[in-house]
Chain A
C-alpha cells in the first residue's frame, strides 16, 4: 500500500510523504499512461519546498490566485475549455487537505460509504486521488510499471446506463441575478457541526449505544456525536492557539537554530514554524520562497505528534530534515558531518549519505555529552587533535564552528560548497574562546552556547537513566511538548470547558458519556498524529492568530469601551483646561496692557511732569541722609525762620510738582537751589548739614543739568508741560568728540567766555564724557575736566572773595579743611582748626609759634589770587624775583601750564623716565587748582598722589625741601612731636611740623590756600615722617650745607603767606641741583624710608633704607609695611659718630639677610630706584661674584619692599575713588 501510495504520489510531494520507503521514484521511467480525462496541467502543489532541485529545473511555476502551480516543461499544454476549467476548480476546492489526507486514506483503505456523509467524503477522496494520478501522469510518466505491481488507479471505473425514460426536464430558469456565495460567519459556523462521522466513529458510537441501551439509557444520535466532536475540536484549536501565542512572544530576539544567528535580511528572513515556533533562516532550512499563509517545519508537517530524533546526534529540538530513508536528522548535523549531504542543495533535503558514514565516526565518543555510539561525531579541525563532539553538542557548548559559504556556479547551476571549521574548546581561536560575539564575517557559531543550549535537548532515548529529562525540559518551551508523550500535542481541554461544551446537549448520563467521548476523541487525534479532525480550523489557525484577537469577552470589551469614553472625557476636559489657562494668561496680559496704556497716556499728556518727577526722585536719592526730605522742624529749631524766609524741602517740592506748580526744570532747580542755600546759610560750616548741602549741591547739579538736557532734547513746551508739536532737532550733545573736549580744555579757547560760562561748558563736557563708554581717554579727560572745573570754580571763588566775600569764602575754606581733616587724619585737623591752631598740642612750647591767626587771613586772599592767576598777576613776577635760581621761569610757566593743561604731567606719569624737576611739579602745582571740589578734590588728589608714588620717591626730596622751606619760613624749628598714633603712622601723615605752617597759610589765605595746603600735605603724606625727621635732623644737627636755608628764612620775613610760594624755587633748586651724574651730591636730602644705595667702606654700594632714628619704639608702619625699629645701641652709636664727625649721619637699614644697621653720611648715600642705569651700575659695582650676588638679592628685596609699599598706597587709592564718586 505504501508503495502504491508512493507511486501514486507526485514527485513534487515526496517531501511531504511520511512514508518510510524510498522516496526516490523520480527519474524512473514509467509506462506511458493514458491521460486522465481532465488533463489539467496546473498541478496544485501544497507547499513549495517540496521540489528537488532536479525537479525544480523542469518546472515552471505559475502563481495563480495566490496558489502556486507547477507545469512541467516537457508537457504540452493543451487547450482547456471553460467547462474543463470549472471541473478542475471543483476538484481543487476539495483538495485542501493534502498532508493528512494521505494518512487518512492510508489508515482506512477499504472504507465503504456507510451513510450519505461518508459517501460524500468518498467522492472527495476519489476525486482527489484521481487528480493525483493525473499529476503523476506528467511528472512521473517514466515510472517503471514493474515496480508498482498493483493497479495504479484506485479510481472506480465509471459505469453508467442510459435512462431512456428520463427526459431531461427543463431546468428552472436561472434568476436574473447571480448566485452569490456568502461565507458563513464565525458564529454561524460555530452553530453547526462541521465534523463528519467516519466509520470508526460509527462503530464506536454503535458500541457505546449498545452499552447504553443495555444499561437502559437512550442512545446518542450521530448528530449529537458530530456536534460534540466538533466542539472538542474547537476547544483544542483555541487551546493550542493560545499556547502558540504564548510561544511567539519571543520573536524579537529569535535566532536561526541552524546557524544560531539572528541576522535577518530581506532575502534571508527568519521563518517561524507556525506550530513549534522553530526559527530558521530561509537559506539555512532551504526555503527559497516564503509561502503564503502558514509555514510549518518539516517536523510539524510530517510528524506533528511524534517527536523526532536525529540519527546523527543524541539531541532533540532544532531544525530537522528527513533523510532519504525516512529518518530524521538535524540540518546542522547534515551540514557538518562530511559524509552526509543534501540531495537538493536548494531545498536542503533529503539528507543523504547517512549510510556512507564510516563506522569509525559512529564510534567516536563525544567529549561533551560523553555518549558513545549514539550519533556521528565530528572532530576538532585542529591537526593532531582528536577530540570528537556531536555537532549539536558543540553548538550547545558554544564551540567555535565557522562556515564560510562558497557559492559555486557549475554546469548544473549554483551549488553550495562550504568550508567548515570547527574547533574544540582547547583550540578555538584566541579571543573567540568564550565570547563569540565578534563574528563579523561568515557564520561564526562560536560562543553561542546559550543559544545552542536553548535549541536542543537531549533525546530521552539517549539518556535512559542518566538524567531525568524533565529538568531540562522545563526551560524549553518548544521542546517540552515535543519530547513529552505525544498526547501532549493534543491539547488538554480543561474539565470546566468540557462541562461547558456539553451544556447544550441533552444526553442521559452525560458525564460518563462525555468522558468516554473525550477519551475517544483523544485517541483518535493521537492515531492521526495529532492532526485536527476538522481541517478548516487547522488551516485557519494562522489567520486566526493574527486577525482575530480572541473571542471578545463581552464584559471586558464593554469595560474597555467605557474606559475609552472616560478617556475621551478626560481629553475634553484637558482641552477645556488649556483653554481656560490661555484665558487666564490673556487676562493677565490685558491687565498689563492697561497699565502700560495708562503710563503711555500719562507720558503723552504730562511729559514734563514725568521728567520732573524722575529728576526729583534722583535728587532725593542723592540725599542719602534724608536731611532734605522733610521740612525743617520748627519746633526743633525755632529760630529757623529768622534766617530763612522761604523754607524748602524735597517733600514740599514734590507736593508742588504734583500740583503742577512746576512748569520746567528751571523751576525745580530754583527750588532746589533755594533749599541748598537755605541749608548753607543756616548751618555753620562745621556741621554735617552744611557739608551735606554742599555735597547735594554738587551732585544735584549734575542731575539737574542732565534733566535740562533731556528736556531740551525731548522738546517740552514749558507753558503746557507737553511735547512741542515739532520734534526738536537734536542738539548733538552726545555727538561731541574728544576734540571738542580737548579744545575746551585749552583755556585759550574759552577766553571769551565768562567764568560761569566756562564752568558750565566744562561741566557739560564732564557729564558727557562721563556718560561715554569707559576708556583710557575717557578717564583721563574726566580727570582733566575736573581739574579744570576746579580751577575755574576756584577763580570764581577768588573773585567772589575779592568782591568782599572773603568771610564766607574763608569759612568755606575752613569747612573744607575740617572735612578734609576728617578724611585725612586727626592731627592735621586739629592743627588746622582755628581753635587749636595757636597751640597745637604736638608743638613744643619752646618753639615760638607765630602761626597766623584767623584774623590775619583777610589780607591774604589777594595774594593767593595772585598766585593762582599766576601768569598775569604781579605775584608771578614777584615769584620770579624770589626765585633766585634759574628755572624759576620755567617753573612758573610750568606751573601755569600744568594747571590749565595738565596733559604733560599725565605723560610723565605714564613714562617711567622722570626728571626730578618735573615730577614733583604736577602734584604740587595741581594743588592750588583745586578749589571747588572739596571732598572730591581732596580725594582726587590723593588718588593721583598714590598713582604717582614712584615719582614721589623722587619728589620726596623736593617735597621735603618744600616743607622744610615752609618750616624755615615760619621760623619754626619744631622738635619732632610725640610719636603719632599708629593710625597716623599707617597712613603716614605729615607730622605737625610741615602741616602747621601749611594750615596757617591755608587759613590765612582762605579757601584758595587751603586746597593748596591740602595737596602738599597729601603728597608729602608718604614722606611726612621724613620731613619731620629731616627737619629734626637739621634742627638738631644744624645741617651745614643747606642752601635752601638761606633763601627760606627770608620768606617768612616778607610775608607769612609766602612760604608756600617760597618752596617752589627751592624745590627747583633742589631738583636742578640734583642729577644722576652727581649721585652723592649732598644737596639732595634723604628722607626716612627712602631706599638708597649705601656705600660702606670696603664694600660696594648696598641697597638700604633710610630710617628715622627717632621713630617710635613700638615700631611703625610704612603704608602697612612694618619698619624695623633700630636697636638702642645703634642709636647711641649714631649719636657718638655724629658728634665725632660733626656731620649729619643717616641711619640706614641694609637689605641684607640680617638687616644690619649703619650710620652713614649723606655722601655715602645715593637714592635708589630713581634711575635704572644708576641702579644697574651699583649692581655691577661688586668685584666678587658672591658680593654681586648678595647685592642683587638685597636689591630684589628692596624692590619687593618698595612694591609692597606702593601697593598699599594703591590700595588706599582704590578705595578713594569710591568716595570720590
Chain B
C-alpha cells in the first residue's frame, strides 16, 4: 500500500507593492499601516511551516518504505524464522508506525498553528477595517452638505445591492483556537459577518457583499453531516478525534449553544458503544 506523498501547497502571499505604497501614502489610519507591517511576516511564516510539513512528510514516506520492506521480509521468511525473530520484526514495524504517527501528529499540529496564524491576521484586519469604515462614515458626515445631498442620492442606488446582502455569508471565524485544542476549545463559532458588514452597508458604492461574496472556492473545506461549507453558527464536537469537527447548528438540531461538552451524533454513538 504505497501512498503518494501528498503534495504540499505553498502559499505565497505578497500584497501588491504598488497598492501598498498607495495605501501608505493615504495614511488613512495608523492601525492599517501597522497592520501592513505585521502582515509582512506572514508569507515567510507560512513558508516556514509548510517546509517543515514537507520535511515531515518526506520522513514519513521514508519510514513507510522501510515498513514495506520489513513486511516483505516478514512474509517471505515467516516459515523459517523463530517466533522471537518474528516478534522482533513486528516490533520494528510497530515502532516505525509509531514514529509515522508522531510525524502525522506534528503535521496536524503545524497545520493548526498555521491556520491560527492566518486567522489571527484576518481577525485583526477585520477589526481594523471596521474602524476604518467607521472613520470614513464620520468623514462623510462631516463633509459639506453638497456631499450629503449627493450621498442621499446614493442611498437610492444602494437599494439594489441590498438584496445581495442576503447572500450567504460564508466567512466564519472559526477555530481560532484550533491550534491549541487541548486548552479548552471554544465551542461555538460565530460567523464574523455581523461586525464586518455593518459598517460597510452605508459606504458609498462599495458593497459589503463584495468581500463576503467571494467566488465560492470549489475547494472550500466542507463540514458537518451535510458536507457543506461553513455558514452561520457552527459548533465544534468536543471529541478531538472527531472526523467532522464542525457542525451547523441546524444540522444537529441546535438553536442555541449547549452548555457543557457537546458531542456530535456520531461521536455520541461511538461513546455509547464504549
Seen from chain A, the residues whose Cβ lies within 8 Å of a Cβ on chain B are 238, 242-243, 245-246, 248-249, 251-252, 494, 496-497, 549-550, 553, 555-556, 558-588, 590-595, 597-598, 600-601, 604-606, 659-661, 719-720, 722
B181 CB to closest chain A CB (Å) equals 11
The 9 closest A-B pairs by CB, nearest first: A591-B104, A245-B153, A584-B111, A242-B149, A249-B156, A550-B150, A587-B107, A598-B97, A587-B108
What are the residues of chain A within 8 A of B111 when measuring CB–CB?
580, 583-584, 586-588
A553, A577, A587: the one contacting B119 at CB < 8 Å is A577
A246 contacts B93, CB within 8 Å? no
A242 and B152 within 8 A (CB)? yes
A570-B219 contact given A563-B133, A565-B19, CB 8 Å threshold:
no
Q: Is the pair A606, B90 in contact by a Cβ cutoff of 8 Å?
A: yes
Within 8 A of A (CB), among B17-56: 19, 22-23, 26, 28, 32, 39, 46, 50, 53
Contacts A565-B19, A591-B107; is A586 near B6 (CB within 8 Å)? yes
Q: Is the Cβ of B115 less than 8 Å from the Cβ of A238?
A: no
Distance between Cα atoms of A1052 and B11 in the complex (Å) = 99
Residues of B within 8 A of A581 (CB): 115, 175, 221
* Closest-CB distance, B78 to chain A (whole angstroms): 5
Interface residues of B, Cβ cutoff 8 Å to A:
1, 3, 6, 9, 11, 13, 15, 19, 22-23, 26, 28, 32, 39, 46, 50, 53, 60, 64, 67, 71, 74-75, 78-79, 83, 86-87, 90, 93-94, 97, 100-101, 104-105, 107-108, 110-112, 114-115, 118-119, 121-122, 125-126, 128-129, 132-133, 136, 139-140, 143-147, 149-150, 152-156, 159, 171, 175, 178, 203-206, 210-211, 214, 217, 219-221, 243
User: Whole-angstrom distance from the CB of A243 to the nearest CB of chain B?
Assistant: 8
| A578 lies within 8 A of B13 (CB) | no
Q: Check B67 against A601 for contact (C-beta < 8 Å).
A: yes
**B214 close to A601 (CB less than 8 A):** no
With A and B bound together, what is the CA distance between A584 and B112 in angstroms?
6
Within 8 Å by CB of B153, from A249, A582, A591, A661, lies A249
Which residues on A sit within 8 Å (CB–CB) of B128?
Answer: 566
A587 touches B53 (CB 8 A): yes
Chain A residues in 8 Å Cβ range of B3: 593, 597
Interface of B is mostly: helix
* A584–B150 CB distance below 8 A: no
A155–B150 CA distance with the chains assembled, in angstroms: 47
Residue pair B79, A720 in contact (C-beta under 8 Å) = yes
Using CB atoms, name the residue of chain A closest to B96: A598
**How far is A882 from B267 in the complex, measured between Cα atoms in Å?**
69
The answer to whether B71 touches A601 (Cβ under 8 A) is: yes
Contacts of B150 in A (CB 8 A): 242, 245, 549-550
Secondary structure dominating the interface of A: helix
A595 to B205, CA, bound (A): 53
Bound Cα distance from A316 to B270, whole angstroms: 79
State in angstroms the CA–CA spacing of A351 and B200 once bound together. Answer: 53
Interface centre among B6, B32, B94, B104 (most CB of A within 10 A): B104
Can you show 9 pairs from A to B with CB atoms below 8 A apart? A242-B146, A251-B156, A494-B145, A550-B153, A553-B147, A575-B217, A578-B219, A591-B105, A604-B75
Instruction: List the A residue with the shortest CB-CB distance to B68.
Output: A601
Within 8 Å CB of B64, what residues of A? Answer: 597
A581 to B122, CA, bound (A): 14
Which of A560, A588, A597, A604: most chain B Cβ within 10 A?
A: A588
Q: Are B220 and A578 in contact (CB under 8 A)?
A: yes
B75 is contacted by which of A496, A553, A722 (Cβ under 8 Å)? A722
Docked pose: A561 CA to B86 CA in angstroms:
71
User: When the two chains form the complex, which single residue of B74, B101, B156, B214 contacts A248, counting CB atoms closer than 8 Å?
Assistant: B156
List 14 additional contacts besides A246-B149, A584-B115, A722-B78; criterion CB under 8 Å.
A559-B139, A562-B23, A563-B133, A566-B32, A566-B129, A567-B129, A567-B210, A570-B211, A580-B11, A582-B221, A584-B111, A587-B53, A601-B67, A661-B83
Nearest CB in chain B to that of A586: its residue: B6
Residue of B nearest to A604 (CB): B71
In-complex Cβ contact of B125 among A497, A573, A719 (8 A): A573
Bound CA span A1176–B74, Å: 82
- How many A-B Cβ pairs are below 8 Å? 200
B77 to A: closest C-beta gap in Å: 10
Complex Cα–Cα for A594 and B115 (A): 22
Instruction: Find chain B residues with CB under 8 A from A572 CB.
Output: 13, 15
Q: How far is the CA of A1160 from the CA of B195 in the complex (A)?
A: 93
Closest chain A CB from B73 CB (angstroms): 11
- The answer, among A245, A559, A719, for a CB contact under 8 Å with B136, is A559
Determine the residue in chain A with the shortest Cβ distance to B107: A587
In the assembly, what is the distance between CA of A605 and CA of B108, in Å? 29
Q: Are B108 and A588 in contact (CB under 8 A)?
A: yes
Q: A550 to B153: give the CA distance in the assembly, Å.
A: 10
B19 — which chain A residues lie within 8 A by C-beta?
565, 568
A594 B87 Cβ-Cβ under 8 A: no
Contacts of B105 in A (CB 8 A): 591
Pick from A496, A567, A590: contact of B211, CB below 8 A: A567
Most buried by B among A561, A565, A600: A565
- Identify which of A238, A565, A590, A600 contacts B22 (C-beta below 8 A): A565
- In the complex, chain A residues whose CB is within 8 Å of the CB of B144: 496
Contacts of B115 in A (CB 8 A): 577, 580-581, 583-584
> Nearest-CB distance from B155 to chain A (Å)?
7
- Chain A residues with Cβ below 8 Å from B22 are 561-562, 565
Do the beta carbons of B75 and A579 come within 8 Å of each other? Answer: no
Residues of chain A lying within 8 A (CB to CB) of residue B119: 577
Residues of B within 8 A of A565 (CB): 19, 22-23
- In the complex where A242-B150, A564-B206 touch, is A600 in contact with B243 (Cβ < 8 A)? no
Q: A660 contacts B86, CB within 8 Å?
A: yes
A560-B206 in contact (CB<8A): yes
State how many angstroms separate the Cβ of B27 from the closest Cβ of chain A: 10
Given the complex of chains A and B, what is the CA–CA distance between A567 and B90 in angstroms? 56
Which one, B100, B129, B139, B155, contacts A570 given CB within 8 A?
Answer: B129
| Closest Cβ neighbor of B26 among chain A residues | A562
Q: How far is the CA of A290 from the CA of B78 in the complex (A)?
A: 95
Considering residues A579, A584, A720, which has the most beta carbons from chain B within 10 angstroms of its beta carbon?
A: A584
Query: By CB atoms of chain B within 10 A, which of A245, A562, A563, A581 has the most?
Result: A581
Contact with B217, one of A252, A553, A578, A598 (Cβ below 8 angstroms): A578
Most buried by A among B9, B53, B155, B211: B211
For B32, list chain A residues within 8 Å (CB). 566
Give which listed residue, A576, A590, A598, A659, contacts B118 with CB less than 8 A.
A576
A575: chain B residues at CB < 8 Å are: 214, 217
Interface centre among B105, B146, B147, B214 (most CB of A within 10 A): B146
User: Would you give the shortest CB distance from A299 to chain B, in whole angstroms?
Assistant: 23
Closest to A601 in B: B71
For the complex, give the distance between the alpha carbons of A577 and B178 in Å. Answer: 13
Question: Looking across the interface, which residue of chain B has its beta carbon closest to that of A591?
Answer: B104
User: Would you call A573 and B118 a contact (CB within 8 A)?
Assistant: yes
In contact, A605 and B203 (Cβ under 8 angstroms): no
Given contacts A550-B153, A560-B205, A578-B219, contact A573 B112 (CB under 8 A): no
Contact B114 A583 (CB under 8 A): yes
- Residue pair B153, A601 in contact (C-beta under 8 Å): no
A390 to chain B, nearest CB (A): 34
Please state if A577 and B122 are interface contacts (CB–CB under 8 Å). Answer: yes
Flag if B71 contacts A585 (CB, 8 Å).
no
Q: Taking A604-B71, A605-B71 as contacts, is the C-beta distance between A584 and B104 under 8 angstroms?
A: no
Instruction: From B136, B143, B155, give the contact of A249 (CB < 8 A).
Output: B155
With a cutoff of 8 Å between Cβ atoms, the chain A residues found around residue B171 in the complex are: 574
Q: How far apart sit A659 and B84, CA to CA, in the bound complex (Å)?
A: 8
Query: Which residues in B have their C-beta under 8 angstroms from that of A594?
Result: 60, 97, 100-101, 104
CA gap between A563 and B134 in the complex, in Å: 12
Q: In whole angstroms, what is the CA distance A570 to B32 when docked?
A: 12
Cβ of B191 to closest chain A Cβ, rounded Å: 12
**Residues in A whose Cβ lies below 8 Å from that of B203:** 560, 563
Known pairs A553-B143, A563-B133, A564-B206; A576 contacts B125 (CB<8 A) = no
**Identity of the chain B residue whose Cβ is nearest the Cβ of A559 in the assembled complex:** B136
